[in-house]
A and B are shown apart, each in its own frame.
Chain A
Amino acid sequence: MLNYDIILKNISKPGRYIGGEIGQTVKDKSSVHCRWAFCFPDCYEIGMSNLGLRLLYSSLNARDDVWCERCFAPWPDMEQRMRETATPLWALESGDPLSLFDFVAFSLGYELSYTNVLYMLELAGIPLLSCDRGEDDPIVIGGGCCTYNPEPLADFFDLFSIGEGEESLPELSDLYLSMKKDGSYTKEAFLRKASELGGFYVPSFYQVHYHPDGTIAGFEKKYDELPDTVQKRIIRNFDKAHFPSKTYIPYIDTVQDRIMLEVMRGCPRGCRFCQAGMVYRPVREKTPELLNEQAKCLYEATGYEEISLSSLSVSDYTRLSRLTELLLEWTDERRVSLALPSLRADTFTKELMDRISTIRTSTLTFAPEAGTQRLRDVINKNVTEEEILRACQVAFSAGKNQVKLYFMIGHPTETNEDLSGISELSSDVVHSFYQCPDRERGRGGIQVTLSVAAFVPKPFTPFQWEKQDSLEETERKQQYLRSVITDRKVKYNYHDAKVGRIEAVFARGDRKLGRALLEARRRGFRFDAWEEYFSYQAWMDVFRDTEIDPDYYTTRGFGEDEILPWDLIDCGITKAFLKEERHRAYAGLVTPNCMEHCSGCGAAKLGGEETWCNRTLSRCGKTAAPKTN
């Protein structure tokens, strides 16, 4: 039993480690036969904000004989205390060490959190390598968007859940329970059966062969019945997706401390750099009436003062007008504000602005992603300068005077002219503020904040084969951009290029990177997603000592005919579509979004209802609902 008075003595933010939140699930251990420890490889404040964790926690706990608990990466001060007191990593609800659990699951959303996975396993006393774990050790499973290329983690995980887990994880628990019950359980037998369920990838069942130059020669299956590729799982009818009516409410401040109402899954747009926009297809929506009920239910269960409509591109939700109308019937009088992140400039209207601006609105954010129309066409962003300026005008007229613009540098074919375009576009936004007759006067005028990230080529995007700019080139572009931004109302923030390079290595990495991760753990790496703990030089030393050439994964670029490390995974989108999109990018051709025209990406084969994908609909004998916005 943990003694909190001792373990939490002089620890920063002890509220991270106590659990006990209103809405957490506690069960009687004796009536539970399958226990999950759901781990988020970052600190409490980040992990508690994760919607996926909330959904899966709730869908696993919906069953009486399964108990899912939470665990987050202890901050380094707690790591030290745990090592001093020989306290193994525990799950918040029961306080039991992770090694006692049946499943230890990791949510993998960011490549730089991989070191924290190994950090947490080590603190839990669980052998890091799957081949070193025995029958009594927990089964280590990973899921989340990073598992579309799970290969760098192949050595450490027993299996990966590919795609949406609300249905597949309870199925996996069922399989586990039944095999334990009828005595047929061995880890190997269980993993074999699991790979038949669909959506589960067991890396140890596939051997990778390499060419002398390091590229992949092929994959070899251990058993004949295994699928050649593992197809991701989706929830076909999103209205019927498991909904957590009861959810944990953190006591301490977290990053996303509000109701997250997931209005749709997938994005119809098809930006060519965006992994989420590709791998979450097909688009599926929830109906406004259901969403309104769910929002009310969550408000009553939590008392949150803000509802965030969440999706990859919320203004593409076809019945947004109806939904906000329903929500405003009760939210205003209860002082609950609506937040719409991820707005698109082309679909942002005055009507929408009026709906979100009644209570506590903050800065508006748009993502033009590139500075010139030419480059926006290359990346298929499909937003024009006029649309961006018009959207800003709407915001200014409503009294806003802060706009945040997201850009990315390092896109394929980018030139200095495109970089200058970022500066020009920002100045145009400033200019349009002063031309707006209804602008907010006084209060220091306008503030435009630029957040400029560096492009990281990601698997399952049309840019998956692209070269990443070298570190020197990215840093040159960052400095160039600084030199051309002269407007004093424009604030320029940019991401560390070194972080983007390491991210790129792991995003497109193969199994050889396992040895680098292992060595990184041996050297004590953790919290690499945090600036204060990230050391580029230390990573370069690890790569040198483990004979990994980071250029191979970054500046080299991948050949279109090359076998890719993630070719074992099938996210629905075909390689032929991605190739075609890449070629269209180089030709400067835009591809219309799914609402306007089907481009035949391949995701329709996965099925789905309430969707914009016409191919999917015709498969289930339906036609698309008319767009009402």
Chain B
Amino acid sequence: MVQPNTFPLRENRCPEDQLMDEYHPQNETITVRIGFAKTGLLRFISHLDLQKTMKRAFLRADLPVWFSEGYNPHPKMVFATPLSVGMESLCEFADIRLTKPITPRMLKDSFNRVMDGNLTVWHASTPVFKLTDAYWSSYEIVLVHPNASPSLALEMDSLYKGPLPVVKRTKSTEKEVDISPFIRIPSVSYEEVGAIRIRCQLCVSNTDFLNPSYLIAAASSRFGLSFDRADSHWSVLRTDLFLKDGVTPFL
């Protein structure tokens, strides 16, 4: 698995030592966007637990976090994209409100000092785009299965490139949807150790979010691959986040 600290993360466009000091006119707070990686064993903690972990890390780091007013004061944090339990990501974004200006370097250094490398902030800036502008996310999905072969990889490649009807379930409904419009530039390759690697971009917009598990499920039902056994497993790594054009990095 790719390590977060060695992965060539995108270049930070904001100067490291320039104060982030754009005050929100109404409530005198500063909104800061952070980019972070959630990797390793932290892939097994839920979104809610992640929020709590982030909040405590901010407090341990003694960063000037703004607290909401009211009965239960808490720091305000908004995340760009959800991430399922079990999946890793190098590229998560969240907005947090601060009470006074600090530099990206201060924020990153203070935060990373109180975490252990499985949750690493690599970017901080004044928000460039709206959180809802995040549209495509790139993934690396690895399937480890004894049936993995170069020909299977080829078949999977064409599976993801054609129309792909799957049954999408929500809490109340269940319907068949063609998910191919929500998949961009898929490519499937065979790795030597009985593993198949899928690279693609999937839609993360509010309305058309496509969970990578649908791609895994589609492959397992089409090719009869069961991952519910001791010699097989999958892993998912989110690697980057883009705007609707699929090219402009989200910031």
Cα-based distance from A516 to B233 in the complex (angstroms): 41
Chain A CB count within 10 A is highest, among B40, B52, B74, B115, for B52
Contact partner of B45 among A85, A249, A252, A300, CB < 8 A?
A252
Q: In whole Å, how far is A88's beta carbon from the nearest beta carbon of chain B?
A: 15
Q: Quick one: given A20-B116, A303-B58, are A14 and B86 in contact (CB under 8 Å)? A: yes
Q: Which residues of B contact A6 (CB under 8 A)?
A: 230, 233
B44 & A301 in contact (Cβ 8 Å cutoff)? no
Interface of B: prevailing SS: mixed
Question: Residue B60 at the A interface, CB < 8 A?
Answer: yes
B44 & A253 in contact (Cβ 8 Å cutoff)? no
Contact partner of A359 among B42, B73, B228, CB < 8 A?
B73
Contact partner of B41 among A4, A10, A84, A253, CB < 8 A?
A4
Chain A, Cβ-Cβ closest to B234: A5
Contact partner of B49 among A10, A19, A251, CB < 8 A?
A251
Cα-based distance from A4 to B1 in the complex (angstroms): 13
A18 & B41 in contact (Cβ 8 Å cutoff)? yes
Q: Which residues of A contact B58 (CB under 8 A)?
A: 303
Question: Residue A180 at the B interface, CB < 8 A?
Answer: no
Chain B, Cβ-Cβ closest to A361: B71
Chain B, Cβ-Cβ closest to A360: B72
A15 & B114 in contact (Cβ 8 Å cutoff)? no
B228 & A9 in contact (Cβ 8 Å cutoff)? yes
B228 & A253 in contact (Cβ 8 Å cutoff)? no
Cα-based distance from A314 to B60 in the complex (angstroms): 27
Question: Residue A197 at the B interface, CB < 8 A?
Answer: no
Cα-based distance from A359 to B67 in the complex (angstroms): 12
B56 & A249 in contact (Cβ 8 Å cutoff)? yes
Question: Residue B220 at the A interface, CB < 8 A?
Answer: no
Q: In whole Å, how far is B75's beta carbon from the nearest beta carbon of chain A?
A: 9
Interface residues of B in 22-73 (CB under 8 A from A): 40-42, 44-46, 48-49, 52-53, 55-60, 62, 67, 71-73
Q: Quick one: given A15-B44, A85-B230, are A301 and B60 in contact (CB under 8 Å)? A: yes
A19 & B41 in contact (Cβ 8 Å cutoff)? yes
Question: Residue A304 at the B interface, CB < 8 A?
Answer: yes
B71 & A360 in contact (Cβ 8 Å cutoff)? yes
Digitize A211-243: 1 where CB-to-B-CB distance is under 8 Å, 0 elsewhere: 000000000000000000000000000000000
Cα-based distance from A625 to B44 in the complex (angstroms): 51
Q: In whole Å, how far is B193's beta carbon from the nearest beta carbon of chain A?
A: 14
Q: In whole Å, how far is B11's beta carbon from the nearest beta carbon of chain A?
A: 29
A22 & B116 in contact (Cβ 8 Å cutoff)? yes
Q: In whole Å, how far is B137's beta carbon from the nearest beta carbon of chain A?
A: 21
Q: Which residues of A contact B79 (CB under 8 A)?
A: none
Question: Residue B227 at the A interface, CB < 8 A?
Answer: yes
B116 & A251 in contact (Cβ 8 Å cutoff)? no
B56 & A304 in contact (Cβ 8 Å cutoff)? yes
Q: Which residues of B contact A251 (CB under 8 A)?
A: 42, 45, 49, 53
Q: Quick one: given A9-B227, A335-B67, are A253 and B49 in contact (CB under 8 Å)? A: yes
Cα-based distance from A251 to B50 in the complex (angstroms): 8
Cα-based distance from A108 to B45 in the complex (angstroms): 29
Question: Residue A3 at the B interface, CB < 8 A?
Answer: yes
Interface residues of A in 241-266 (CB under 8 A from B): 249, 251-253
Question: Residue B235 at the A interface, CB < 8 A?
Answer: yes
Chain A, Cβ-Cβ closest to B142: A5
Question: Residue B118 at the A interface, CB < 8 A?
Answer: yes
Question: Residue B85 at the A interface, CB < 8 A?
Answer: yes
Q: Quick one: given A251-B49, A359-B73, are A302 and B41 in contact (CB under 8 Å)? A: no
Q: Which residues of A contact B71 (CB under 8 A)?
A: 360
Question: Residue A62 at the B interface, CB < 8 A?
Answer: no
Q: In whole Å, how far is B67's beta carbon from the nearest beta carbon of chain A?
A: 5
Contact partner of A14 among B44, B62, B228, B230, CB < 8 A?
B44
Q: Which residues of B contact A22 (CB under 8 A)?
A: 57, 114-116
Chain B, Cβ-Cβ closest to A9: B233
Contact partner of A18 among B44, B116, B230, CB < 8 A?
B44
Digitize A288-313: 1 where CB-to-B-CB distance is under 8 Å, 0 elsewhere: 00000000000011111100000000
Q: Quick one: given A15-B44, A85-B230, are A303 and B67 in contact (CB under 8 Å)? A: no
Contact partner of B40 among A15, A20, A359, CB < 8 A?
A20
Cα-based distance from A251 to B53 in the complex (angstroms): 6
Digitize A76-115: 1 where CB-to-B-CB distance is under 8 Å, 0 elsewhere: 0000000011000000000000000000000000000000
Q: Which residues of B contact A305 (CB under 8 A)?
A: 59, 74
Interface residues of B in 188-242 (CB under 8 A from A): 227-228, 230, 233-235
Digitize A22-34: 1 where CB-to-B-CB distance is under 8 Å, 0 elsewhere: 1000000000000
Chain A, Cβ-Cβ closest to B75: A335
Question: Residue A352 at the B interface, CB < 8 A?
Answer: no
Chain B CB count within 10 A is highest, among A15, A17, A249, A303, for A303
Q: Which residues of B contact A304 (CB under 8 A)?
A: 56
Cα-based distance from A4 to B41 in the complex (angstroms): 8
Q: In whole Å, how far is A301's beta carbon from the nearest beta carbon of chain B?
A: 7
B233 & A3 in contact (Cβ 8 Å cutoff)? yes
Question: Residue A340 at the B interface, CB < 8 A?
Answer: no
Q: In whole Å, how far is A253's beta carbon from the nearest beta carbon of chain B?
A: 7
Cα-based distance from A498 to B235 in the complex (angstroms): 46
Question: Residue A8 at the B interface, CB < 8 A?
Answer: yes
A5 & B41 in contact (Cβ 8 Å cutoff)? no
Cα-based distance from A9 to B48 in the complex (angstroms): 20
Cα-based distance from A22 to B118 in the complex (angstroms): 10
Q: In whole Å, how far is B229's beta carbon from the nearest beta carbon of chain A?
A: 9
Digitize B99-143: 1 where CB-to-A-CB distance is under 8 Å, 0 elsewhere: 000000000000000111010000000000000000000000000
Q: In whole Å, how far is A48's beta carbon from the nearest beta carbon of chain B?
A: 13
Q: Supply 17 further A-B pairs (C-beta < 8 A) apart from A5-B86, A15-B45.
A: A4-B41, A4-B44, A5-B233, A5-B234, A6-B230, A9-B233, A14-B44, A14-B85, A18-B41, A20-B42, A251-B42, A303-B55, A303-B58, A305-B74, A335-B67, A359-B73, A360-B71
- A sample of 12 cross-chain residue pairs with beta-carbon separation below 8 angstroms, ordered by A number, consists of A3-B233, A5-B234, A15-B45, A20-B41, A84-B230, A253-B49, A300-B60, A301-B60, A303-B60, A305-B59, A305-B74, A360-B73
Top-10 shortest CB links A-B: A303-B56, A303-B59, A5-B233, A14-B44, A303-B60, A18-B41, A335-B73, A251-B45, A20-B41, A15-B45
